[in-house]
Structure 1
């Protein structure tokens, strides 16, 4: 680091943003993530003993990924290199790896390469890292807000350990705010009583577990407040405006929220389902995507227990397509409540899965002659197609004959449940038992 860089860092340490000034100087100062770096945890021991392996730190913004990397940089005897996938290119990756190889060869010093927002690298750029990790040229630490299982190459993931960081709990954000508020050197040097309890609560809720966001908000509020008065909830609201929902539309926020939504419907909890629907709508999720998921759920988890569920879900998609938002939220709400309170059956899904498995596992079969196409005038005479077929309507609508190939005789794929209208289907099939396939 040159003189100017040193002076710039010193200035930021005393006059920079509060979130920067309050960055932890050691592991004991880190707030949250006790499952990873609490006393006695494996990762903490590896950091303290400078005995790390390649890893990815995965979690939402403001949970401490970059902070952990910086603490590792201070602790390790390895050479520490930082790249940002937002601004770095392939040439810079190659240069970092080449320098690491020379460092290892000449000085027997290993290199830790920290890549922030690693998911921003494309597949080819990620692949450049593989040989260097494999032969020990570099030890990689990646940080990402996106689910690495979707955004990082499988080959790279297989060589790394993924550590999940979670949003800070309310008490953890409170602790961080109080420390920053009262610290006389790096913090604001004020009293905890500077903020009313309602103001604290509002900042904590607005930050949504993002420590950096909480400190940034506190910094902004203190900058404009009257030192002779307490900071009130109203003053906090004037700064925060509408509280944003953290929701990465292409990453884990997207997948986790839609998963919670569908599981709440499947679990017949309309209130929870409406909550997750509201989260998606507030975050700007595509309403047609939600409607498509409702269609899938209606067939997969309700099915024949209430056949109208699929009809309503399809109508909801058409309604949303026609009217858009905000009005489209109403049919989405209606469909969500209907599906959540409908009887559930996955028999249709299980039936087609089992039928396809039977096809895949079969050693071969032919369409029985009596079921084969006999529309051609010579099909029956020359090829014996259609011979022996009994037209059900000639027998009052039902007649005992086999509709499966001999190799599949006796197979039963559809197992109706006792739920909703499917109970009536089950009774009907039992009533027709003597008219259906002989061995069924």
Structure 2
């Protein structure tokens, strides 16, 4: 029997009536050179180039490839290009709907096709991280014996979601989110190419900007939105896709936000000031504007970490760990899920008690240093771990605090120039109230209870 009747029939329908397929399918690259983005994987001599038969008489390409990256970055496209370039059968399965039975059927069909027709098979398995260990084990014989060229796609970290035997037998390639330039190249090609819209409509600049923002680095999302907007424009005999048309068709308003201009800094500033002012609703509004405009989530996370120290400090010692954890999570998961993490951190910071005492303390200390108030380190605090230190008087007379009842040794720590300066003035807000009591007792024990103040007072919560 013919080994790939269903694939052949689908391709035949597409060739006879290209408009029957979605724009994202019609614009799928046919060769490696048509692939947009992922240039780090497509350099001459790269494993993917060898997989499609390029690179001369070098070693054969890998028999199993795992593509790891966010949705819409070209995982299915690369698998399709490999099959077309090598004239191999292309069979696609999704781990969401397929099981061991379907996998074994494809493998058996591939063995028959290779033996009976000399036709090798590319098996593209999407969402492989959804397969159980037993289901992934079923792939091993086909990979080891090269019955199929397995190209598996995952959006999850393969070191956690794919079994070690399969991972060790595969080439792992990491795909990156497409840049705005990559997406713009795809949109331009789709507008002008005969496989796409063939020049039937043009795209206004502000509409183009909105499409790039809502795409979020996802090529499929960008082309799907373009197709819907183009259909709406042509239905009303309009030759240009306007911003209003895009907003109406994707049901998403354009956010006035320039990632390189005033809006970028104004909205970011408003977010931090709303957190500082404990207005959680305003903070969430500005966070939503940044997210909807396609702001880099790592930028937002960095601003939250700064806010945690600048405006909250020791009033809530958990604020900074929360912000840091949010930044780490954002780096690992990206949008859209990262929006939940950023919301979590923003709410926690906005509702935390506020103190800028740490900010004022380091500012006052730095100001004194800039004024030249430094001076030599007291001799008893200097390093005494080298030969000759004792003769210089270094580390002599130092009192080890752990040997003193209460753990506080009444000795001079600061240089003479600033020995009476006070930089830290704790508030009585939140957890910092405890530090206010502690610092008074410690200064009294150190004999500095009547020292002059240097730092300003903290603002209200």
Fold in common (TM above 0.5): yes
- Distance change in 2, residues 1:90/1:331 (3 Å): closer
CA distance in 2, matches of 1:147, 1:15: 35
User: For residues 42-89 of structure 1, what are the alpha-carbon distances to aligned partners after superposition, in whole Å with 9 as ceiling and x for unaligned?
Assistant: 422332336333111111222111111111111226555432212211
After TM superposition, the structure 1 = structure 2 runs for residues 237-276 of structure 1, keeping only pairs within 5 Å, are 237-242=247-252
CA distance in 2, matches of 1:36, 1:270: 39
Contact (CA 8 Å) 2:232, 2:249: kept in 1 or not? no
CA distance in 1, matches of 2:145, 2:322: 57
Aligned match for 1:156, one of 156, 163, 166: 166
- Distance change in 2, residues 1:337/1:236 (3 Å): farther
Partner of 2:431: none
Aligned match for 1:31, one of 19, 32, 36: 36
Instruction: Tell me the secondary structure at the aligned position of residue 316 of structure 2.
Output: helix
- Distance change in 2, residues 1:7/1:54 (3 Å): closer
CA distance in 1, matches of 2:214, 2:313: 41
CA distance in 2, matches of 1:41, 1:399: 62
Instruction: Tell me the secondary structure at the aligned position of residue 173 of structure 2.
Output: strand
User: For residues 105-145 of structure 1, what are the alpha-carbon distances to aligned partners after superposition, in whole Å with 9 as ceiling and x for unaligned?
Assistant: 77887654321221121121012223443344444210122
CA distance in 2, matches of 1:125, 1:281: 41
Contact (CA 8 Å) 1:174, 1:204: kept in 2 or not? yes
CA distance in 1, matches of 2:211, 2:25: 18
CA distance in 2, matches of 1:6, 1:110: 18
2:204 aligned with 1:199: no
Partner of 1:288: none
Instruction: Tell me the secondary structure at the aligned position of residue 48 of structure 1.
Output: coil
- Number of equivalenced pairs: 308
Could you tell me how far 1:279 is from its partner in structure 2?
7.2
After TM superposition, the structure 1 = structure 2 runs for residues 278-293 of structure 1, keeping only pairs within 5 Å, are 278=287
Aligned match for 1:20, one of 17, 25, 33: 25
Partner of 2:192: 182
RMSD (Å), alpha carbons = 4.8
CA distance in 2, matches of 1:280, 1:228: 30
Instruction: Tell me the secondary structure at the aligned position of residue 92 of structure 2.
Output: strand
After TM superposition, the structure 1 = structure 2 runs for residues 130-141 of structure 1, keeping only pairs within 5 Å, are 130-141=140-151
Partner of 2:329: none
Partner of 1:173: 183
Contact (CA 8 Å) 1:81, 1:114: kept in 2 or not? yes
- Distance change in 2, residues 1:155/1:238 (3 Å): same
Partner of 1:119: 129
Aligned match for 1:68, one of 61, 78, 84: 78
- Distance change in 2, residues 1:155/1:243 (3 Å): farther
CA distance in 1, matches of 2:147, 2:349: 55
Partner of 2:69: 59
CA distance in 1, matches of 2:288, 2:244: 24
After TM superposition, the structure 1 = structure 2 runs for residues 36-115 of structure 1, keeping only pairs within 5 Å, are 36-49=41-54, 51-76=61-86, 80-100=90-110, 111-115=121-125
- Distance change in 2, residues 1:398/1:207 (3 Å): closer
CA distance in 2, matches of 1:199, 1:16: 24
Partner of 1:386: none
CA distance in 2, matches of 1:204, 1:223: 18
Contact (CA 8 Å) 1:24, 1:67: kept in 2 or not? yes
Structure 1 gap ranges (5+): 245-268, 284-296, 317-326, 344-395, 401-417, 433-440
Contact (CA 8 Å) 1:270, 1:337: kept in 2 or not? no
Could you tell me how far 1:9 is from its partner in structure 2?
3.3
- Distance change in 2, residues 1:187/1:110 (3 Å): closer
Partner of 2:350: 334
Instruction: Tell me the secondary structure at the aligned position of residue 63 of structure 1.
Output: coil
Aligned match for 2:229, one of 221, 235, 238: 221
Could you tell me how far 1:234 is from its partner in structure 2?
1.9
Could you tell me how far 1:214 is from its partner in structure 2?
1.0
CA distance in 2, matches of 1:209, 1:239: 19
